[in-house]
Amino acid sequence: MNYVREPVVAGMFYPGRAKELSGMISHMVAESRAQPQALPSPTGLILPHAGYAYSGKVAASGYK
């Protein structure tokens, strides 16, 4: 059984259009101040997941 859940909050906490959302995320990661360090790759990350307007920059820093 294949089921794709429709995004019920698209356009509320993040842009509703895929191209706009992708651009927003790319911009946040590019603008992130995270600096690469000589550390091993993490096994996992604990990042905020509220609306991107509230936590997007912090999450982008973690991913970068």
pTM: 0.72
CB 56 within 8 A of CB 26: no
25 vs 33 pLDDT, higher one: 25
**Mean pLDDT for the chain?**
87
pLDDT of residue 33: 81
pLDDT higher than 80, residue 54: yes
HSE-CB at 64 with a 13 A cutoff on CA atoms is: 18
Mean pLDDT of 12-26: 91
Q: Residue 10, SS3? A: strand
Q: In the chain, what percentage of residues exceed pLDDT 90?
A: 28
